[in-house]
Structure 1
Amino acid sequence: MTQPAHVFDATLPRFEDEVLKRSLQVPVLIDFWATWCGPCKTLGPILEKLAAEFNGGFILAKVDVDAEQQLAGYFQIKSIPTVMLVKGGEIVDGFPGALPEGQLREFLKHHGVEAKPADEAAPAEDVAAPPVDPHAEVVRLRAAIAAEPDKDELKLDLVLTLLQTGGVAEAEKLLDALPANLATDERAVKARARLGFAALLKDAPPREPLLAAIAADPDDLRARHLLGVRQIVEGDSEAGLQQFLEMLRRNRAYEDGLAKKALIDAFRVVEDEDLVGAYRRKMASVLF
């Protein structure tokens, strides 16, 4: 039987490509179900109906827990149906049980998942903008804010630009003063991640002693973490991501999953989307 549009059966071998990588472009709703599950037979058709109605606003990945026991085990599925929402390569929310259609719509709305018009054209390819001198941009933004002091979006732009020029203290002060409606803005989240990295380096050793500590003991995960943070902050993004990935390989449970958290924060900070995508895949291959 042919499945509805925007619905597919997720399997472990293809999970990284079909769910994690795909969620970088479009939200993916995972439905853990089984053929013998009564509530699943109620929830499944509603989810498929919404997937069709939203026309690609989200993708529905169905996981048969009997056929994909390892995948269900990784997600620690205790009961079915269970639904999880993946955005940007991360699980952002979920719920057990069969919710009614109205609550499902509210769940999607809460996470910014919207239907696409039936005649929506494919988005045009982005045209690369010319490089901008961050110091000159700071000057421009200061002038723009002076002209429009109530325009908080400009202040958020200034926060991100200050972080590029080393103005950490001023950036943090501006970020803390932004209104609540901008607190969940993707740029504000990125700024918080950058500030978090900068705070970790306040009393951290320089690069050379950290390298020496790792050479003496490759399992010194504290040194690896600080070195990775320093490399990210100093612009050596791939080297920093490699340190976090090596932490994950050596001990994923270290300090309550610090390696995974560091990688996710780094993904918000690093500007090179291809590099971030490559390390998301590497992280997934270690975790799965």
Structure 2
Amino acid sequence: MAAASFIFEGTSGNFDRLVLENSRRGLVLVDFWAPWVGPSMRQREMLSNLAQEYAGRFLLVSVNTDEQKPLAERFGVRSLPSLKLFKNGEMLAEYHGVQPEADYPRIIDEYAAKLVDQVSAGAIAAWQAGDPDKALQLLAEAAVSQPDNLSYPALMAKILMRQDRIDDAHQLLCALPEVFQNESQISGLLAHLDFLQTAAGADAKADLEARITATPEDAEARYQLAAVCLHEDEIEQALEHLLLLSRQVPVYRNGIARKGMKALLDMLDSADERVARYRKELFRLNY
């Protein structure tokens, strides 16, 4: 799905549909700005980049207060920029003025919707009760009836991964149309699976370290080393190798290092200080 699908211009005519109705399905950020206010242009740029980075975890609606004065009055906008967060048809929070760069990903992570429907809840209950086959069957049937709902194959892959059926999980996701594989909830899992498969076939850690000491630009060795570090639960070392690889050879395997970083950060608790720190580094890679 194109990044533009997650960014819209808000007006009095479409605001209720774009913001209030969509907020019942997930998080919506409304950025009130004006072209003559420098800080609001900076916030607008950062939020647009994050909308591309998060690829669907939130919807961004941009409101030009010069053109949409009734909307600004309706929501009590007194200073610019003003950021308001909506969920379930109501405003959850608001922020006045430009926030520190690293705070935007933290705010989004804190409020982003993580909805679980009844089918997924039933599958999770079956898995927890020791019946993974039933869980997979429920999800497979739902995936057939709702092929556009990627939460079903994503949860199937996670269950397979918990059973150490790594190749089966990878096969399942690779069978999805390419446009779905590029969606964040699937691409992140594919990156994680790639880590696991890479670690299983990687050279010895000491050999990999020797290779990148001799040739720091050895992309294959650095990626394998990141995968081995992750396998050994050395999360920060894995993130550092991926960050360096993203800087040195950003096009390596179609940006797999960057995708891997995003996948690792999604695994961590949003309160983990590494999440904000490394999301900030990811954000800087855009410039």
- SS for the counterpart of 2:202 is coil
How far did 1:180 drift?
9.8
Residue 280 of structure 1 is matched in structure 2 by 279
**1:154-211 deviation line (CA, Å, top 9, x unaligned):** 6643421332443212223443567999867754333222223344456532322111
How many residues of Structure 1 are paired with residues of Structure 2 in the alignment?
210
Which residue of the other structure, out of 140, 150, 153, is the alignment partner of 2:141? Answer: 150
Contact preservation (8 Å) 2:209, 2:225: yes
Change (3 A) 1:119 1:199: closer
Map residues 68-217 of structure 1 onto 2, 5 A cutoff. Answer: 84=48, 86-87=50-51, 89-90=53-54, 116-118=88-90, 137=128, 139-145=130-136, 150-152=141-143, 156-176=154-174, 187-201=185-199, 203-217=201-215
Q: 1:283 & 1:188 partners in 2: Cα distance? A: 19
Contact preservation (8 Å) 1:228, 1:240: yes
Change (3 A) 1:119 1:148: closer
Give the RMSD, CA atoms, in angstroms. Answer: 5.3
Contact preservation (8 Å) 1:190, 1:268: yes
- SS for the counterpart of 2:50 is strand
Contact preservation (8 Å) 2:199, 2:228: yes
Which residue of the other structure, out of 14, 19, 22, is the alignment partner of 1:54? Answer: 19
Change (3 A) 1:28 1:171: closer
How far did 1:212 drift?
1.2
Contact preservation (8 Å) 1:159, 1:174: yes
- Identical positions, percent: 15
Tell me which protein shows more helix as a share of its residues.
2
How far did 1:266 drift?
2.8
TM-score, scaled to structure 1: 0.50
How far did 1:242 drift?
0.7
Which residue of the other structure, out of 260, 263, 273, is the alignment partner of 2:258? Answer: 263
- SS for the counterpart of 1:222 is helix
Contact preservation (8 Å) 1:29, 1:86: no
Change (3 A) 1:237 1:161: farther
Q: 1:187 & 1:49 partners in 2: Cα distance? A: 28
**1:219-276 deviation line (CA, Å, top 9, x unaligned):** 4343222211332344322111011122345x3xx25266964133332244113233
Contact preservation (8 Å) 1:159, 1:171: yes
Structure with greater Cα Rg:
1
Contact preservation (8 Å) 1:57, 1:114: yes
TM-score, scaled to structure 2: 0.50
Contact preservation (8 Å) 2:229, 2:235: yes
Matched to 2:141, the amino acid is D
Residue 122 of structure 2 is matched in structure 1 by none
Extract unaligned runs of 5+ from structure 1: 1-26, 31-42, 76-82, 95-112, 127-135
